[in-house]
Amino acid sequence: MAVATRENAREAILLAAREAAMTRGYGGINFRDLAATVGIKAASINYYFANKALLGEAVARRYQEDIDHDLAAISADAKDAVDALKRYPSIFRASLERDNRMCLSSFMAAERDELPGPVLKQVQAFADVNVAWLTKQLVAAGIGLPESVGARALAIYAAVAGAQIIARSRSDIAVFDALIESYREAGPLPG
């Protein structure tokens, strides 16, 4: 029973840290605030994560694992690759729908100079996972060859993440929707 309790506490810390990072970035991860959210003593967090860098790395890794799952779900549910590409922005929109939160990876990428190396590596891995998935979908949709669509996949990722940033700055999800629609009409996303 104690093991399950420890695992539950670890998961609660990871979840609270993820929410903090999606709201305030890596700089917003604070052991005292997390402990209050989880209902444990701040010193207890050190039992699970010796320091903020290890916690940040674990949070970013989990976030990347979650995006792997989300992208696989889109692939499985979509009728084809074009449909999967059309659904892709919904992942970023979902963060905005949750009290104007932002993709953890985008937030942390903006804090690049303050991130410990392992955290930055996980943030970059998140982008790599997105670009690889987008590349695969573009090729499957017949939009290009693997050696030529990587740049477009990166542009799609950057455009969607950028739309989220602009919409968050205005606390207006309609801005995100309008930008995504413009990307479909004239930009990198297939229509």
Print the SS3 string covering 102-162: CCHHHHHHHCHHHCCHHHHHHHHHHHHHHHHHHHHHHHHCCCCCHHHHHHHHHHHHHHHHH
pLDDT value of position 6: 66
pLDDT value of position 1: 31
Residue 168 sits in a domain of what CATH number?
1.10.357.10
Give me the percent of the chain exceeding a pLDDT of 90: 82
Count structural domains, the chain.
1
87: in domain: yes
Closest to 137 in 3D by CA, of 67, 191, 85, 59 = 85
How far apart are alpha carbons 141 and 133 in whole angstroms? Answer: 12
25: in domain: yes
pLDDT value of position 145: 79
191: in domain: no
- CA dist 1 to 13, 24, 38, 43, 190, Å? 18, 34, 19, 22, 51
123: in domain: yes
32: in domain: yes
77: in domain: yes
User: Domain containing 170: what range?
Assistant: 2-186
124: in domain: yes
Measured at the CA of 5, the angle between CA 95 and CA 51, to 5 degrees, comes to: 60
pLDDT under 50 in the chain at which residues?
A: 1-4
9: in domain: yes
Helices 89-97 and 146-170, axial angle in degrees (round to 10) = 20
